[in-house]
A and B are shown apart, each in its own frame.
Chain A
Amino acid sequence: MTSPAPLVLGIESSCDETGVGIVRGTELLANTVSSSMDEHVRFGGVIPEIASRAHLDAFVPTLQEALSTAGVTLDDVDALAVTSGPGLSGALMVGVAAAKAVALATGKPLYAINHLVAHVGVGVLDGGTLPSSLGALLVSGGHTEILRVNSLASDIELLGATIDDAAGEAYDKVARLLGLGYPGGPVIDRLAREGDAKAIRFPRGLTLPKFLGTAEAPGKHRYDFSFSGLKTAVARCVEQYQARGEEVPVADIAASFQEAVVDVVTKKAVMACTEQGLENLLLGGGVAANSRLRELLAARCASAGINLRIPPMGLCTDNGAMVAALAAQLVMNGVRPTGIGFSADSGQPVSQISL
């Protein structure tokens, strides 16, 4: 594969979005996404079996639409790519089986791609080559991670991650507690604007000195997150109002909860960049849509002299274009394709950019 700008088709099915994206090098040609989100609403969160069933039925129509949007055929494609993990195993396996079948039918090389690194790799579709000295903050319903990107194609390091719930998951659970429905992110973000973010002081997870340590002698969880205690604190708070027979101040709780999440996420991301000497930060994941996260992260990055890069929202949420974009980088860097014998890996570490 010596093509300077390979035509790559990427497939994503790690959670509730069936995505097929097509790129030529760093140029986006198609980004078709079919979501089963509406089917999860009544459960207040993603139900893996429902997501897997939806992927099976969405795959071929999504593929067809992406090809037609890009104006290309499978014959034109230079390489195929699919998310192999991390993600929900049953959901991953639908995309993986379909991708292997397309590779088998067309004889095209197949890359098994890391979902988290793809959230970083998508950056090349908006503004081209990623800067050196780069960190990445990924915040979504399934992930909350800080990465150091030494080389997009060959060297990614995990600096910190949630030890329990993902930030977006905490939003969904709190929205459920407050009777706000699913997904929790947009509705809490909207309500928070009407509330007082200082009304209730909710805990910032893993910020005690024993977890943080110092830059020279970092504690065990200096760059890690925890949102499970925060969710419980919100539940206790709601119960106390109810026990007293008082009206629950939903907007104040939403604002105070959001502030607790966003404060700790932005503080740790900026701290990691500063201490690790990273001059640039890329934000990815569905929670990148949150207005307070964008606002506070932009302010704190500016104060610390860090350049912040946020891809357009359609590329921040789960999609196939990010899988294609990262695979195109691998192709251009001469990384060998994976083949069709691999297993999906629900816990694929970020250090494994492709299998």
Chain B
Amino acid sequence: MLILAIDTSATASAALLKTRSPGSAAQLLASFHTEETNTHSEVLAPGIQGLLAESGSSGGDIDAIVVGVGPGPFTGLRVGIATARALGFAWGTPVHGAVSLDALAYDVMVDNSSSSVDDHEFTVAIDARRKELYWARYADDGTLLDGPHVGAAETLPSGPVHGAGAGMYADRLDAAGANVVERFADRQPSAASLGAWALRILGAGGKLLPTTPLYLRESDAKVPAQMKGAPAS
């Protein structure tokens, strides 16, 4: 099975991954990512074009597209989802969604399985802007226990926190009883990890999500006073 994974919840990334048989280990064929968090609309399509060229694949070879549905800053998040849906339509390929924070949780699980650290539960967090974090809590087998949520650093549960969001608010998390895991303190969700995670779920016969974005915040629009009150006449 060949999948194209896309995530734009923080930085922009895309990856092509393959499994020989359901449940077997995912092989990363090609991947690309940016460091920037505000160039998704410019770089994502050329990035995916590069992956296809590099791996010698064409759209018709791809069995499924998996896109990170956030949470993430709105405009960037939409670039990834709009891209995935339009590619899926044009290629006639099914498009699935996955929580972007799952990509980080997958990285933590892979890391934990090769180290002696035994964290039974852990939190992952990325920047939500407006001095808040998008976060979720996972069991050590990657099961989502709580979230995703958006809130200030102080609202996170105690215990280890992984991800670039943790690095941004290390002092405040520390003061609130959470501890930042240093080697993950600048890690962002990546399409390569999201794709590997999705392949694992699909391989185990599980289901992914629809591609509905997880905004977690309303649009901020306020009804003007003149619209609330009675007509002027």
Listed in ascending order, the chain A residues whose CB lies under 8 Å from chain B are 42-44, 47, 49-50, 52-53, 55-56, 59-60, 63-64, 74, 89-90, 93-94, 96-106, 176-180, 238, 242, 247-248, 250, 340-344
Task: Known A52-B74, A94-B78, A97-B82; judge A43-B223 contact (CB<8 A).
Answer: yes
Listed in ascending order, the chain B residues whose CB lies under 8 Å from chain A are 40-46, 48-49, 59, 74-75, 78-87, 89-91, 213, 215, 219-224, 226-227, 229-233
- Give the dominant DSSP class at A's interface: helix
Contact of B41 among A97, A102, A104, A242 (CB under 8 A): A97
* Cβ-defined contact, A101 with B90, below 8 A: yes
Task: Known A74-B90, A89-B75, A342-B42; judge A98-B83 contact (CB<8 A).
Answer: yes
Sample of 10 further A-B pairs with CB below 8 A, known A56-B78, A105-B87, A242-B232: A43-B224, A74-B90, A97-B40, A98-B83, A98-B86, A102-B89, A105-B86, A177-B226, A248-B232, A341-B42
CB neighbours of B80 from chain A (8 A): 97
CB neighbours of B42 from chain A (8 A): 341-343
Interchain CA distance A342-B151 in the complex, whole Å: 34
Can you list 14 A-B pairs with a CB-CB distance of less than 8 A?
A: A43-B227, A44-B224, A44-B227, A53-B213, A56-B81, A56-B85, A60-B89, A97-B40, A97-B79, A178-B231, A178-B233, A341-B45, A343-B41, A344-B41
* Cβ-defined contact, A178 with B82, below 8 A: no
* Cβ-defined contact, B230 with A179, below 8 A: yes
Interchain CA distance A172-B220 in the complex, whole Å: 20
* Cβ-defined contact, A102 with B233, below 8 A: no
* Cβ-defined contact, A94 with B232, below 8 A: no
Interchain CA distance A285-B49 in the complex, whole Å: 36
Task: Known A52-B78, A98-B86; judge A340-B45 contact (CB<8 A).
Answer: yes
Task: Known A97-B45, A104-B48; judge A47-B221 contact (CB<8 A).
Answer: yes
Across the interface, name the chain B residue whose C-beta is closest to A175: B226
Contact of B86 among A44, A52, A101, A341 (CB under 8 A): A101
Q: Give, as a whole number of angstroms, the nearest-CB distance from A69 to chain B.
A: 16
Task: Known A89-B75, A178-B233, A250-B233; judge A104-B45 contact (CB<8 A).
Answer: yes
- Please indicate which of the listed interface residues A96, A100, A101, A344 has the most CB atoms of chain B within 10 Å of its own CB: A101
CB neighbours of B84 from chain A (8 A): 101
CB neighbours of A106 from chain B (8 A): 90
* Cβ-defined contact, B219 with A60, below 8 A: no
* Cβ-defined contact, A247 with B233, below 8 A: yes
* Cβ-defined contact, B221 with A50, below 8 A: yes
CB neighbours of A100 from chain B (8 A): 44-45, 83
CB neighbours of A98 from chain B (8 A): 82-83, 85-86
Interchain CA distance A47-B85 in the complex, whole Å: 24
Contact of A47 among B87, B219, B233 (CB under 8 A): B219
CB neighbours of A341 from chain B (8 A): 42-43, 45-46
* Cβ-defined contact, B226 with A96, below 8 A: no
**9 closest Cβ pairs, A-B complex:** A179-B231, A105-B90, A101-B86, A100-B45, A49-B219, A47-B221, A97-B82, A98-B86, A248-B233
* Cβ-defined contact, A101 with B83, below 8 A: yes
Across the interface, name the chain A residue whose C-beta is closest to B219: A49
Contact of B78 among A44, A97, A99, A102 (CB under 8 A): A97
Interchain CA distance A90-B48 in the complex, whole Å: 21
Q: Give, as a whole number of angstroms, the nearest-CB distance from A22 to chain B.
A: 15
* Cβ-defined contact, A178 with B86, below 8 A: no
